[in-house]
Amino acid sequence: MDTDKKNTILREGFLVKRGHLVPNWKARWFVLTSDKLLYYKYEGSKRDSCQRGKILLKDCEITCPFLEYENRPLALKLQTKNGAAHFLEACSRQERDDWAADITAAVDKLKKAGGGKVANKEEPAGSQFHNINLSKVLDSMYDIHSGIKMNNHVEQGNTYSNCFSGSAVVDWLVFMQLALTRVEAMTLASALLEEGLLRTVGLKSAESFRTAGLSEQFMDDSTALYSFSDNLKKRGTVKAETSLSAVELSGQVIMRGYLLKQGHRRKNWKVRLFVLRSEPAFLHYFDPTKDDVGPVGGFSLRGCLVSSLDDNGVPSGVKGNVQGNLFKIITQSNTPYFIQAPTHQEKMAWIDAIRQQT
C-alpha cells in the first residue's frame, strides 16, 4: 500500500491550483496529511487514483491571504523548503482560512517535532499593513463574490446610489484580515482615499477628509459614505452591475462551494464554483479556472424541484462514471441539472439550502 495513504487525513476537498510550467488554474482534489499535501485530478466525474502531485510541509511557509492575483482574492501561497511556490484558491473566505489554519498547524507540529521555532500566531502572514499593495486591495474590494457590497444610502435627505458606509469598509478589511484592528483598517482606508482609489460621498465624509489628519481621513462610521473613484478603470463587480444579470447577483449569498456539474450538450463533468443567493433566489455557477468573474450559467430557483439521487446505479440522463453524492435540480422551464457534491453531508446541505429558496 502507498505509505501516503497510511497517513491520517486531516482535511480534503477541492482547491484551484496554479500550474508550474503552464500558468493556468486547474481544479484539483487536495488531501492534507500530517506532513504533506497531496493532490489528484478528477477524470470526468470521478477522482482518479493516480496522485498528481505532492507538497512537503516541513519548513513550508504560508501566506494567507495572498493578493497578488487579480480577481483571485481567496488565494493562499505555500512556499516549500526548496523554494517552490504553490498558489491555491478556495471557494470562500471560510474555506481559505480553514485550509490555512490546518496547514499552519501541521507545519508548526513538524517544526516542534524537529526542535524548530513555531511561527508567531499573533501576526498572520500577509496581514501586515506595510506589505499591502493598495491596488491589490482595491481589486479585492471589487470582487463580485467577496468584495464590498454597494447599496443606496440616504444622508440628510439626499439619496446616494452605489456607495457604502465607512464602518462597512472597516468591517470588511478586518474580516478579510487585511488589517488586524479597526484603527489599522482606518489607516489603510485613509491611504486608499489619499491615493484617489476611493472617494467621499455626501457631506460628512467629505468634511472629515478635508479637515482630519492623514491617518484619520477615513471615518469608521455607519453614516459616513464612500464609493469607488469615478476615474478608475471599471472591472469586477462593476461589470456585473451594468450587465443584465445585475438583479440576479444582488441577493445575499447563502452558500457557496465547489461542486461537479454535468454539461447539457457534451454530458461531461466539470468542477464549478456554485453560489446560492436569496432575495432574489438564484443559483449561479462559475468556472474557477478562468479569471473572468462573471458566471457561466445560472437560473432562478422560483418553482425549482431539487431531489437526491440514489448512488446505486446510474440514473437516467446521467453519463460517465459517477462518484456519488448526486442530486438533481429541475428548473421552472423543465431544464434538468445533474450535480455531484464531494460528500454526502455537503449534498444534503445544498439540497436543504436550495429547498428553502424555492
pLDDT of res. 50: 63
239 falls in which pLDDT band (50, 70, 90)?
very low
Residues 109 and 44 occupy one common structural domain? yes
User: Region 287-311: what's the mean pLDDT?
Assistant: 85
Residue 235 inside a domain? The answer is no
Residues 209 and 284 occupy one common structural domain? no
Residues 115 and 152 occupy one common structural domain? no
Residue 135 inside a domain? The answer is no
Residues 249 and 304 occupy one common structural domain? yes
pLDDT of res. 316: 66
Is the pLDDT reported for residue 275 higher than 90? yes
Residues 119 and 170 occupy one common structural domain? no
320 falls in which pLDDT band (50, 70, 90)?
low
Say if residue 19 is exposed, middle or buried (CB neighbours under 10 Å; 0-12, 13-18, 19+).
Answer: exposed
Q: Pick 20 or 4 by higher pLDDT.
A: 20
CATH number at residue 224: 1.10.10.10
Domains of the chain: total: 3
3 state SS of 350 = helix
Is the pTM here over 0.75, yes or no?
no
Residues 269 and 223 occupy one common structural domain? no
> How far apart, in whole angstroms, are the C-alpha atoms of residue 153 and residue 160?
5
Is the pLDDT reported for residue 15 higher than 90? yes
Residues 16 and 83 occupy one common structural domain? yes
Residue 239 inside a domain? The answer is no
> How far apart, in whole angstroms, are the C-alpha atoms of residue 224 and residue 271?
41
Residues 37 and 78 occupy one common structural domain? yes
Residues 223 and 251 occupy one common structural domain? no
147 falls in which pLDDT band (50, 70, 90)?
confident
Could you tell me the residue range of the domain that residue 51 belongs to?
Answer: 3-123
CATH number at residue 102: 2.30.29.30
Residues 222 and 254 occupy one common structural domain? no
Residues 62 and 106 occupy one common structural domain? yes
Percent share of the chain, pLDDT over 90 = 32
pLDDT of res. 1: 38
pLDDT of res. 291: 77
pLDDT, tens digit, for every residue of 192-201?
Answer: 887 778 889 9
